[in-house]
Amino acid sequence: MSQVTTLVAKEVRTLFTSPIAYAVIAVFIVLSGYTFTVTLIVSKQATLVHIFFQSAVQLILLVPLITMRQFAEERRSGTLELLLTAPVREIDVVVAKFMACMVVLAVMTSLTLIYAAVLSVYGDPDWGPIYSGYVGLVMLGAALLSIGLMISALTTNQIVAAVVSLGLFGVLWAIDTLAALLPQPFENWLLGLSLLAHFTPFAVGAMYLSDFGFFLTVILLGLFLTVRALARR
């Protein structure tokens, strides 16, 4: 456990000594803040549903920038081989990088709590959808991070890792559109893979065990495949 803690601290320092983390956080906050302000002025409704959906799309666009360097750049520069020759297991390295990325995600989402505070001061919001929306964002972000890490572990080029991650995220987000064109049972099969279909209940105030199970499965599968990718180096 001490090794993992040390690795997590190292990876967090690495992320926050790079301008990428700050740029990603800044873009996320500026865009969501602009949307919150404009929507609140126009609709005058004490709700964050629109923010949750926009934040989900922003995560799809920004998470590849966080994960692309985690393994690809280290593999290219040779530092990954050096790290893995140390007395640490592949799973320790993967968990440490995942937790460090989750710190960036936590900072991004926690900064948007000011919107909920504004609504509580000037309105009477329904807190159920706000609580579930934030839970959904964290689950979605963690799932995207695990997939992004897996892709980064499979390549030595961080640009390739980012592009492939973005493409896969986009497909998994919009796959329900393709599912609507297919007959049963193929429609249900594809809907079962849709990030949007599993995130929507969280955003509107409903939390189902099946959606928790979906995101947890994606997270664990992504981390497992990342470990296997490193083990086959």
Which pLDDT score is estimated for 45?
A: 73
Q: Give φ, ψ of 126 to 5 degrees.
A: -85, 110
pLDDT greater at residue 79 or residue 135: 135
User: Where exactly are the structural domains of the chain?
Assistant: 2-231
When mean pLDDT is compared across 16-30, 87-101, 144-158, the lowest value belongs to 87-101
State pLDDT tens for residues 104-161.
999 999 999 998 888 888 777 888 889 999 999 999 999 999 999 999 988 888 899 9
Which pLDDT score is estimated for 31?
A: 92
Q: Which amino acid is at 212?
A: F
Mean pLDDT of the chain: 86
Cα distance between residue 86 and residue 175, in whole Å: 41
**Half-sphere exposure at residue 162, Cβ-oriented, CA atoms within 13 angstroms:** 14
Measured between its terminal Cα atoms, the distance across the chain in Å is 24
* C-alpha closest to that of 30 among 49, 63, 58, 60: 58
The residue count of the chain comes to 233
Q: Give SS3 for 186.
A: helix
**What is the model's pTM?**
0.90
| C-alpha to C-alpha distances, 6 to 3, 97, 105, 126, nearest whole angstrom | 5, 11, 20, 41
- Contact predicate 49/203, CB 8 Å: yes
